[in-house]
Amino acid sequence: MKKLICLLLIRCLLPTAAHAQTADTGGQRMQWWREARFGLFIHWGIYAVPAGVHNGRQIGRGGEWIMNRGKISVADYQQYARQFNPTAYDADAWVKAARDAGMKYIVITAKHHDGFALFKSNASKWNIADATPYGKDLLKPLAAACKKYGLKLGFYYSHAQDWNNPGGAAARKATAEGWPNPDSATIDAYTQANSGHWDPAQTTASMSDYIDRVAVPQVKELLTNYGEVAVLWWDTPTGMTAEYARKLQAVLALQPGIITNDRLKRPDFPGDYKTPEQKIPTAAELDGRDWETCMTMNGTWGYKSYDNRWKSTGTLIRNLIDIASKNGNYLLNVGPDATGAFPAASIAALKGIGQWMKINGEAIYATQGSAMGTPAWGRYTRKQADGKTVLYLHVFDWPANGKLLIPDLKDKVSHARLLAGNKKLTTHTTAAGLEIEVPVAAPDTIATVIKVTL
Protein backbone atom coordinates (compact mmCIF):
# COMPACT_ATOMS: atom_id res chain seq x y z
CA MET A 1 0.00 0.00 0.00
CA LYS A 2 2.84 2.40 0.90
CA LYS A 3 4.50 1.66 -2.46
CA LEU A 4 1.28 2.47 -4.34
CA ILE A 5 0.89 5.77 -2.47
CA CYS A 6 4.49 6.72 -3.29
CA LEU A 7 3.95 5.97 -7.00
CA LEU A 8 0.80 8.10 -7.07
CA LEU A 9 2.61 10.99 -5.39
CA ILE A 10 5.45 10.83 -7.90
CA ARG A 11 2.99 10.82 -10.80
CA CYS A 12 1.25 13.89 -9.42
CA LEU A 13 4.51 15.75 -8.91
CA LEU A 14 6.04 15.07 -12.33
CA PRO A 15 4.13 17.78 -14.27
CA THR A 16 5.01 20.32 -11.58
CA ALA A 17 8.69 19.41 -11.82
CA ALA A 18 8.64 19.75 -15.61
CA HIS A 19 6.93 23.11 -15.28
CA ALA A 20 9.50 24.32 -12.77
CA GLN A 21 12.29 23.44 -15.20
CA THR A 22 10.92 25.59 -18.01
CA ALA A 23 10.08 28.45 -15.66
CA ASP A 24 13.68 28.66 -14.36
CA THR A 25 14.80 32.22 -15.00
CA GLY A 26 18.48 31.68 -14.19
CA GLY A 27 21.23 29.31 -15.16
CA GLN A 28 22.83 28.41 -18.45
CA ARG A 29 19.67 27.72 -20.48
CA MET A 30 18.83 31.40 -20.79
CA GLN A 31 22.34 32.82 -20.92
CA TRP A 32 22.87 32.62 -24.69
CA TRP A 33 19.39 34.02 -25.34
CA ARG A 34 19.92 37.00 -23.05
CA GLU A 35 23.19 37.79 -24.81
CA ALA A 36 21.83 37.29 -28.34
CA ARG A 37 19.30 40.16 -28.40
CA PHE A 38 18.51 39.66 -32.10
CA GLY A 39 16.90 36.76 -33.99
CA LEU A 40 15.15 35.93 -37.26
CA PHE A 41 11.53 34.77 -37.36
CA ILE A 42 10.50 32.92 -40.54
CA HIS A 43 6.84 32.41 -41.46
CA TRP A 44 6.63 30.01 -44.38
CA GLY A 45 4.15 27.45 -45.58
CA ILE A 46 1.36 26.62 -48.04
CA TYR A 47 -0.13 30.10 -47.52
CA ALA A 48 2.77 31.51 -49.58
CA VAL A 49 1.10 29.99 -52.67
CA PRO A 50 -2.15 32.02 -52.60
CA ALA A 51 -0.10 34.92 -51.20
CA GLY A 52 -3.18 36.69 -49.83
CA VAL A 53 -5.49 36.03 -52.82
CA HIS A 54 -8.12 33.27 -53.10
CA ASN A 55 -10.49 32.84 -56.06
CA GLY A 56 -9.39 36.19 -57.44
CA ARG A 57 -10.17 38.09 -54.22
CA GLN A 58 -7.71 39.70 -51.84
CA ILE A 59 -8.38 38.33 -48.36
CA GLY A 60 -8.01 41.04 -45.72
CA ARG A 61 -5.40 40.02 -43.16
CA GLY A 62 -4.71 37.04 -45.42
CA GLY A 63 -1.12 35.88 -45.25
CA GLU A 64 -0.72 32.87 -42.97
CA TRP A 65 -4.34 33.29 -41.77
CA ILE A 66 -5.86 33.17 -45.26
CA MET A 67 -7.56 29.79 -44.74
CA ASN A 68 -9.36 31.01 -41.61
CA ARG A 69 -10.09 34.56 -42.74
CA GLY A 70 -11.41 33.35 -46.08
CA LYS A 71 -13.12 30.26 -44.61
CA ILE A 72 -11.51 28.12 -47.29
CA SER A 73 -12.56 24.47 -47.07
CA VAL A 74 -10.03 21.80 -46.16
CA ALA A 75 -10.34 20.23 -49.63
CA ASP A 76 -9.83 23.54 -51.45
CA TYR A 77 -6.93 24.66 -49.28
CA GLN A 78 -5.11 21.38 -49.71
CA GLN A 79 -5.12 21.94 -53.47
CA TYR A 80 -2.56 24.70 -52.92
CA ALA A 81 -0.08 22.09 -51.72
CA ARG A 82 0.13 20.77 -55.28
CA GLN A 83 1.62 24.14 -56.28
CA PHE A 84 4.12 24.34 -53.43
CA ASN A 85 7.45 23.45 -54.99
CA PRO A 86 10.08 25.78 -53.49
CA THR A 87 12.99 24.94 -55.79
CA ALA A 88 14.68 28.28 -54.99
CA TYR A 89 14.93 27.35 -51.30
CA ASP A 90 18.54 27.71 -50.15
CA ALA A 91 18.87 27.14 -46.42
CA ASP A 92 22.55 28.05 -46.51
CA ALA A 93 21.76 31.45 -48.05
CA TRP A 94 18.96 32.07 -45.55
CA VAL A 95 21.12 31.42 -42.52
CA LYS A 96 24.08 33.33 -43.93
CA ALA A 97 21.81 36.34 -44.53
CA ALA A 98 20.65 36.14 -40.91
CA ARG A 99 24.21 35.83 -39.62
CA ASP A 100 25.41 38.74 -41.75
CA ALA A 101 22.54 40.84 -40.37
CA GLY A 102 23.89 40.22 -36.88
CA MET A 103 21.21 37.74 -35.83
CA LYS A 104 22.10 34.98 -33.39
CA TYR A 105 19.14 32.60 -33.69
CA ILE A 106 16.35 31.55 -36.04
CA VAL A 107 12.78 30.49 -35.26
CA ILE A 108 10.84 28.98 -38.18
CA THR A 109 7.19 27.95 -38.45
CA ALA A 110 7.65 24.18 -38.42
CA LYS A 111 3.84 24.04 -38.38
CA HIS A 112 1.49 27.02 -38.42
CA HIS A 113 -2.28 27.10 -37.79
CA ASP A 114 -3.08 25.58 -41.17
CA GLY A 115 -1.55 22.37 -39.82
CA PHE A 116 0.96 22.01 -42.64
CA ALA A 117 4.35 20.66 -41.49
CA LEU A 118 7.57 21.83 -43.15
CA PHE A 119 9.08 18.50 -42.13
CA LYS A 120 8.54 14.84 -42.91
CA SER A 121 6.06 13.61 -40.29
CA ASN A 122 4.74 10.17 -39.51
CA ALA A 123 1.88 11.71 -37.51
CA SER A 124 0.17 13.41 -40.47
CA LYS A 125 0.45 13.19 -44.25
CA TRP A 126 -0.25 16.93 -44.41
CA ASN A 127 3.46 17.72 -44.68
CA ILE A 128 6.04 18.92 -47.21
CA ALA A 129 7.35 15.43 -48.04
CA ASP A 130 3.99 13.72 -48.58
CA ALA A 131 1.64 16.47 -49.85
CA THR A 132 3.75 18.51 -52.28
CA PRO A 133 5.75 17.98 -55.47
CA TYR A 134 8.85 19.17 -53.59
CA GLY A 135 8.79 15.97 -51.53
CA LYS A 136 11.66 16.77 -49.16
CA ASP A 137 12.04 17.83 -45.54
CA LEU A 138 12.75 21.58 -45.36
CA LEU A 139 14.07 21.68 -41.79
CA LYS A 140 17.03 19.32 -42.10
CA PRO A 141 19.04 21.60 -44.42
CA LEU A 142 18.12 24.56 -42.20
CA ALA A 143 19.41 22.74 -39.12
CA ALA A 144 22.65 21.91 -40.97
CA ALA A 145 23.10 25.53 -42.07
CA CYS A 146 22.51 26.84 -38.54
CA LYS A 147 25.18 24.48 -37.25
CA LYS A 148 27.56 25.61 -40.03
CA TYR A 149 27.15 29.33 -39.29
CA GLY A 150 26.83 29.07 -35.52
CA LEU A 151 23.21 30.20 -35.12
CA LYS A 152 20.80 28.66 -32.64
CA LEU A 153 17.76 26.93 -34.17
CA GLY A 154 14.22 27.25 -32.85
CA PHE A 155 10.88 25.85 -33.98
CA TYR A 156 7.53 27.62 -33.94
CA TYR A 157 4.77 25.04 -33.46
CA SER A 158 1.03 25.72 -33.48
CA HIS A 159 0.11 23.22 -30.78
CA ALA A 160 -3.61 23.93 -30.44
CA GLN A 161 -4.91 25.55 -33.61
CA ASP A 162 -4.86 23.25 -36.63
CA TRP A 163 -7.37 23.81 -39.41
CA ASN A 164 -6.54 20.72 -41.47
CA ASN A 165 -5.79 17.87 -39.08
CA PRO A 166 -9.15 16.80 -37.57
CA GLY A 167 -9.66 17.76 -33.95
CA GLY A 168 -7.39 20.80 -33.99
CA ALA A 169 -8.80 24.03 -32.57
CA ALA A 170 -9.87 27.05 -34.63
CA ALA A 171 -10.06 30.64 -33.46
CA ARG A 172 -13.48 32.15 -34.08
CA LYS A 173 -12.92 34.81 -36.75
CA ALA A 174 -15.80 36.26 -38.74
CA THR A 175 -15.77 35.99 -42.53
CA ALA A 176 -16.61 39.70 -42.69
CA GLU A 177 -12.98 40.40 -41.84
CA GLY A 178 -11.99 39.67 -45.38
CA TRP A 179 -14.32 37.43 -47.34
CA PRO A 180 -17.16 39.27 -49.11
CA ASN A 181 -19.27 36.40 -50.41
CA PRO A 182 -23.00 35.64 -50.22
CA ASP A 183 -22.47 32.66 -47.90
CA SER A 184 -20.85 34.68 -45.12
CA ALA A 185 -23.89 34.60 -42.82
CA THR A 186 -24.29 30.82 -43.21
CA ILE A 187 -20.59 30.18 -42.61
CA ASP A 188 -20.52 32.48 -39.59
CA ALA A 189 -23.52 30.73 -38.03
CA TYR A 190 -21.81 27.36 -38.50
CA THR A 191 -18.58 28.75 -37.04
CA GLN A 192 -20.37 30.04 -33.95
CA ALA A 193 -22.01 26.65 -33.39
CA ASN A 194 -18.83 24.61 -33.95
CA SER A 195 -16.15 26.24 -31.80
CA GLY A 196 -14.70 28.32 -34.59
CA HIS A 197 -14.64 25.59 -37.27
CA TRP A 198 -16.20 26.20 -40.68
CA ASP A 199 -15.80 22.83 -42.39
CA PRO A 200 -17.23 19.52 -41.09
CA ALA A 201 -13.95 17.86 -42.12
CA GLN A 202 -12.27 19.70 -39.23
CA THR A 203 -14.46 18.10 -36.56
CA THR A 204 -14.28 14.38 -37.37
CA ALA A 205 -12.05 13.89 -34.30
CA SER A 206 -11.87 15.40 -30.82
CA MET A 207 -9.19 17.79 -29.66
CA SER A 208 -7.98 15.14 -27.24
CA ASP A 209 -7.46 12.81 -30.21
CA TYR A 210 -5.61 15.56 -32.06
CA ILE A 211 -3.25 16.26 -29.14
CA ASP A 212 -2.40 12.56 -28.76
CA ARG A 213 -2.32 11.66 -32.45
CA VAL A 214 -0.73 14.73 -34.06
CA ALA A 215 0.60 17.41 -31.70
CA VAL A 216 2.54 15.33 -29.19
CA PRO A 217 4.06 12.99 -31.82
CA GLN A 218 5.08 15.92 -34.05
CA VAL A 219 6.75 17.80 -31.19
CA LYS A 220 8.64 14.58 -30.43
CA GLU A 221 9.75 14.45 -34.07
CA LEU A 222 10.94 18.06 -33.96
CA LEU A 223 12.90 17.52 -30.77
CA THR A 224 14.43 14.23 -31.97
CA ASN A 225 15.33 14.56 -35.65
CA TYR A 226 17.15 17.90 -36.00
CA GLY A 227 19.96 17.93 -33.46
CA GLU A 228 20.03 20.63 -30.82
CA VAL A 229 16.83 22.69 -30.68
CA ALA A 230 17.30 25.90 -28.72
CA VAL A 231 13.73 27.27 -28.68
CA LEU A 232 10.20 25.86 -28.84
CA TRP A 233 7.89 28.73 -29.75
CA TRP A 234 4.28 27.76 -28.96
CA ASP A 235 1.44 29.82 -30.39
CA THR A 236 -2.25 30.53 -29.69
CA PRO A 237 -3.47 28.16 -26.94
CA THR A 238 -7.04 28.07 -28.30
CA GLY A 239 -8.98 25.31 -26.55
CA MET A 240 -5.98 24.22 -24.48
CA THR A 241 -6.38 22.54 -21.12
CA ALA A 242 -3.82 21.93 -18.39
CA GLU A 243 -3.93 18.23 -19.27
CA TYR A 244 -3.03 18.89 -22.90
CA ALA A 245 -0.32 21.36 -21.87
CA ARG A 246 1.30 18.86 -19.51
CA LYS A 247 1.44 16.27 -22.28
CA LEU A 248 3.22 18.69 -24.61
CA GLN A 249 5.52 20.07 -21.95
CA ALA A 250 6.64 16.58 -20.95
CA VAL A 251 8.15 16.14 -24.42
CA LEU A 252 10.60 18.98 -23.70
CA ALA A 253 12.65 16.51 -21.66
CA LEU A 254 14.05 15.34 -25.02
CA GLN A 255 15.98 18.65 -25.18
CA PRO A 256 17.09 19.51 -21.61
CA GLY A 257 18.57 22.87 -22.66
CA ILE A 258 15.55 24.11 -24.58
CA ILE A 259 13.76 27.34 -23.68
CA THR A 260 10.09 28.12 -24.36
CA ASN A 261 7.84 31.13 -24.61
CA ASP A 262 4.68 31.92 -22.65
CA ARG A 263 2.04 30.73 -25.14
CA LEU A 264 1.58 27.06 -24.22
CA LYS A 265 -1.32 27.82 -21.88
CA ARG A 266 -1.70 31.03 -19.92
CA PRO A 267 -1.28 31.71 -17.04
CA ASP A 268 -0.27 28.37 -15.53
CA PHE A 269 2.55 27.62 -18.00
CA PRO A 270 4.57 30.86 -18.18
CA GLY A 271 7.59 29.41 -19.99
CA ASP A 272 10.88 31.29 -19.90
CA TYR A 273 9.97 34.60 -21.52
CA LYS A 274 7.08 36.84 -22.52
CA THR A 275 6.14 37.58 -26.13
CA PRO A 276 4.71 41.03 -26.91
CA GLU A 277 3.70 41.06 -30.57
CA GLN A 278 4.09 43.91 -33.06
CA LYS A 279 4.83 46.39 -30.26
CA ILE A 280 7.69 47.45 -28.02
CA PRO A 281 6.58 47.72 -24.40
CA THR A 282 7.15 50.92 -22.50
CA ALA A 283 9.42 50.75 -19.48
CA ALA A 284 6.33 50.99 -17.26
CA GLU A 285 4.84 47.87 -18.88
CA LEU A 286 7.82 45.65 -18.07
CA ASP A 287 7.78 43.50 -14.95
CA GLY A 288 11.34 42.16 -14.80
CA ARG A 289 10.69 38.96 -16.76
CA ASP A 290 12.67 38.14 -19.87
CA TRP A 291 10.82 39.23 -23.00
CA GLU A 292 11.03 39.18 -26.78
CA THR A 293 9.16 41.36 -29.25
CA CYS A 294 8.26 39.63 -32.50
CA MET A 295 7.61 42.01 -35.36
CA THR A 296 7.09 42.04 -39.12
CA MET A 297 9.11 44.06 -41.62
CA ASN A 298 5.91 44.99 -43.47
CA GLY A 299 2.30 44.40 -42.43
CA THR A 300 2.05 40.62 -42.49
CA TRP A 301 3.88 37.52 -41.26
CA GLY A 302 3.36 35.09 -44.13
CA TYR A 303 4.10 36.21 -47.69
CA LYS A 304 1.42 38.38 -49.24
CA SER A 305 2.08 39.56 -52.78
CA TYR A 306 0.50 42.98 -52.41
CA ASP A 307 1.78 44.02 -48.97
CA ASN A 308 4.35 46.75 -49.61
CA ARG A 309 4.13 48.53 -46.27
CA TRP A 310 7.84 48.05 -45.57
CA LYS A 311 9.44 49.62 -42.51
CA SER A 312 12.61 51.55 -43.24
CA THR A 313 15.98 50.09 -42.29
CA GLY A 314 16.40 53.01 -39.91
CA THR A 315 13.16 52.13 -38.11
CA LEU A 316 14.22 48.50 -37.75
CA ILE A 317 17.62 49.46 -36.33
CA ARG A 318 16.10 51.91 -33.87
CA ASN A 319 13.58 49.25 -32.84
CA LEU A 320 16.47 46.89 -32.08
CA ILE A 321 18.22 49.55 -30.00
CA ASP A 322 15.05 50.46 -28.11
CA ILE A 323 14.38 46.81 -27.30
CA ALA A 324 17.94 46.12 -26.14
CA SER A 325 17.82 49.26 -23.96
CA LYS A 326 14.92 47.61 -22.09
CA ASN A 327 16.56 44.18 -21.69
CA GLY A 328 14.51 42.59 -24.47
CA ASN A 329 15.14 40.56 -27.63
CA TYR A 330 14.02 41.44 -31.16
CA LEU A 331 12.64 38.59 -33.29
CA LEU A 332 12.31 40.15 -36.74
CA ASN A 333 10.23 38.32 -39.34
CA VAL A 334 10.77 37.41 -42.99
CA GLY A 335 8.01 35.76 -45.04
CA PRO A 336 9.58 33.89 -47.98
CA ASP A 337 7.54 33.48 -51.16
CA ALA A 338 6.34 30.14 -52.54
CA THR A 339 9.59 29.55 -54.44
CA GLY A 340 11.63 29.83 -51.24
CA ALA A 341 13.03 33.29 -51.94
CA PHE A 342 13.18 36.14 -49.42
CA PRO A 343 11.40 39.28 -50.69
CA ALA A 344 13.85 41.82 -52.13
CA ALA A 345 12.86 44.43 -49.52
CA SER A 346 13.65 41.97 -46.71
CA ILE A 347 17.05 41.21 -48.19
CA ALA A 348 17.84 44.92 -48.45
CA ALA A 349 16.76 45.53 -44.85
CA LEU A 350 18.85 42.63 -43.53
CA LYS A 351 21.91 43.95 -45.37
CA GLY A 352 21.35 47.46 -43.99
CA ILE A 353 20.98 46.20 -40.43
CA GLY A 354 24.08 44.05 -40.89
CA GLN A 355 26.17 47.04 -41.96
CA TRP A 356 25.15 48.89 -38.80
CA MET A 357 25.68 45.83 -36.57
CA LYS A 358 29.17 45.20 -37.98
CA ILE A 359 30.26 48.51 -36.46
CA ASN A 360 27.95 48.74 -33.46
CA GLY A 361 27.10 45.16 -32.49
CA GLU A 362 29.04 45.34 -29.22
CA ALA A 363 26.52 47.94 -28.04
CA ILE A 364 23.70 45.39 -28.50
CA TYR A 365 25.04 41.90 -27.67
CA ALA A 366 25.20 40.91 -24.01
CA THR A 367 24.12 44.38 -22.92
CA GLN A 368 21.55 45.47 -20.40
CA GLY A 369 19.41 48.51 -20.02
CA SER A 370 20.41 51.43 -17.86
CA ALA A 371 18.74 52.80 -14.75
CA MET A 372 19.44 56.28 -16.10
CA GLY A 373 16.14 56.39 -17.98
CA THR A 374 15.57 57.43 -21.58
CA PRO A 375 17.48 60.48 -22.80
CA ALA A 376 15.81 62.93 -25.18
CA TRP A 377 18.43 62.25 -27.85
CA GLY A 378 18.31 58.42 -27.96
CA ARG A 379 18.90 55.33 -25.80
CA TYR A 380 21.40 53.76 -23.39
CA THR A 381 22.74 50.22 -23.17
CA ARG A 382 25.47 49.08 -20.81
CA LYS A 383 27.68 46.18 -19.81
CA GLN A 384 30.41 45.30 -17.34
CA ALA A 385 33.86 44.75 -18.85
CA ASP A 386 37.18 44.22 -17.04
CA GLY A 387 35.69 45.45 -13.79
CA LYS A 388 34.45 48.68 -15.33
CA THR A 389 31.04 49.88 -16.44
CA VAL A 390 30.73 50.55 -20.16
CA LEU A 391 27.89 52.83 -21.19
CA TYR A 392 26.80 52.94 -24.82
CA LEU A 393 25.07 56.09 -26.02
CA HIS A 394 22.85 55.43 -29.05
CA VAL A 395 22.35 58.91 -30.46
CA PHE A 396 19.31 59.31 -32.70
CA ASP A 397 19.14 63.13 -32.62
CA TRP A 398 22.61 64.58 -33.12
CA PRO A 399 23.29 67.79 -31.15
CA ALA A 400 23.51 70.83 -33.39
CA ASN A 401 25.90 72.62 -31.00
CA GLY A 402 28.45 69.78 -31.01
CA LYS A 403 27.92 68.96 -27.33
CA LEU A 404 26.08 65.86 -26.10
CA LEU A 405 24.84 65.98 -22.50
CA ILE A 406 24.31 62.88 -20.35
CA PRO A 407 22.10 64.29 -17.60
CA ASP A 408 23.11 63.75 -13.94
CA LEU A 409 26.10 61.50 -14.77
CA LYS A 410 28.91 62.41 -12.37
CA ASP A 411 31.00 59.19 -12.50
CA LYS A 412 34.67 59.46 -13.39
CA VAL A 413 35.21 58.78 -17.10
CA SER A 414 38.13 56.67 -18.29
CA HIS A 415 37.51 57.51 -21.93
CA ALA A 416 34.80 58.14 -24.53
CA ARG A 417 35.06 57.02 -28.16
CA LEU A 418 32.95 56.74 -31.28
CA LEU A 419 32.43 53.10 -32.24
CA ALA A 420 32.62 54.19 -35.87
CA GLY A 421 36.32 54.86 -36.44
CA ASN A 422 37.23 54.58 -32.72
CA LYS A 423 37.82 58.35 -32.50
CA LYS A 424 38.48 59.56 -28.96
CA LEU A 425 36.12 62.28 -27.71
CA THR A 426 36.73 64.97 -25.10
CA THR A 427 34.49 64.97 -22.01
CA HIS A 428 33.71 67.52 -19.29
CA THR A 429 31.91 67.08 -15.99
CA THR A 430 29.41 69.89 -15.49
CA ALA A 431 26.75 70.71 -12.93
CA ALA A 432 24.13 69.31 -15.34
CA GLY A 433 25.98 66.05 -16.02
CA LEU A 434 28.62 64.70 -18.40
CA GLU A 435 29.20 66.73 -21.54
CA ILE A 436 30.85 65.15 -24.59
CA GLU A 437 32.31 67.12 -27.48
CA VAL A 438 31.19 65.47 -30.73
CA PRO A 439 31.79 66.10 -34.44
CA VAL A 440 29.57 68.60 -36.21
CA ALA A 441 27.95 65.92 -38.37
CA ALA A 442 26.67 62.56 -37.14
CA PRO A 443 28.77 59.65 -38.46
CA ASP A 444 25.53 57.65 -38.78
CA THR A 445 22.21 59.46 -39.20
CA ILE A 446 20.23 56.40 -38.02
CA ALA A 447 22.09 55.91 -34.76
CA THR A 448 25.65 56.86 -33.87
CA VAL A 449 27.07 55.00 -30.89
CA ILE A 450 29.46 56.53 -28.36
CA LYS A 451 31.22 54.17 -25.96
CA VAL A 452 31.86 55.67 -22.53
CA THR A 453 33.99 53.68 -20.09
CA LEU A 454 33.43 54.69 -16.46
Query: Confidence band (pLDDT; 50, 70, 90) for 252?
Result: very high
Task: Tell me the per-residue pLDDT of 402-450, one tens digit each, with 9 for 90 and over.
Answer: 999 999 888 888 999 999 999 999 999 998 899 999 999 999 999 999 9
Q: Is residue 97's pLDDT more than 80?
A: yes
- The span from the CA of 122 to the CA of 114, in Å, is 17
Query: Confidence band (pLDDT; 50, 70, 90) for 61?
Result: confident
- Amino acid in the structure at residue 246: R
Task: Tell me the per-residue pLDDT of 277-298, one tens digit each, with 9 for 90 and over.
Answer: 999 999 999 999 999 999 999 9
Mean pLDDT on 163-173: 94
Residues of the chain by 3-state class (helix, strand, coil), percent to 5:
35, 20, 45
Question: Taking Cα atoms as reference points, which of 335, 385, 341 lies closest to residue 365?
Answer: 385
**All domains of the chain in start order, with CATH:** 21-363 (3.20.20.80), 378-453 (2.60.40.1180)
Region of poorest pLDDT, from 19-28, 84-93, 185-194, 425-434 = 19-28
Mean pLDDT on 127-137: 98
Q: What is the pLDDT of residue 175?
A: 59
Query: Confidence band (pLDDT; 50, 70, 90) for 387?
Result: confident
β-partners of residue 437 are 403
What average pLDDT does the chain have? 92
Q: What is the pLDDT of residue 4?
A: 44
- The span from the CA of 365 to the CA of 398, in Å, is 23
Q: Is residue 245's pLDDT more than 80?
A: yes
- Amino acid in the structure at residue 109: T
β-partners of residue 417 are 424, 451
Q: How many CB atoms lie within 10 A of CB 69?
A: 22
Query: Confidence band (pLDDT; 50, 70, 90) for 181?
Result: low
Q: What sign has the CA pseudo-torsion 201, 206, 207, 208? A: negative
Task: Tell me the per-residue pLDDT of 6-29, one tens digit each, with 9 for 90 and over.
Answer: 444 333 333 333 333 444 445 789
Task: Tell me the per-residue pLDDT of 340-361, one tens digit each, with 9 for 90 and over.
Answer: 999 999 999 999 999 999 999 9
User: Can you give 266-293 as a three-state secondary structure string?
Assistant: CCCECCCEECCECCCCCHHHCCCCCEEE
Chain centre to alpha carbon of residue 318: 18
Contacts of residue 38, defined as CB under 8 A and 6 or more positions apart, other chains included, come to 101, 102, 103, 104, 320, 329, 330, 332, 357, 364
Which has the higher per-residue pLDDT, 326 or 388? 326
Question: Taking Cα atoms as reference points, which of 74, 63, 334 lies closest to residue 178?
Answer: 63
* Rounded (5°) CA angle 284-287-289: 140
Mean pLDDT on 240-264: 98
Q: How far apart are the first and last CA of the chain?
A: 66
DSSP string computed for 2-66: HHHHHHHHHHHHHHHHHHHHHT--SSSTTHHHHHH-EEEEE--SGGGTTTTEETTEE-TT-GGGH
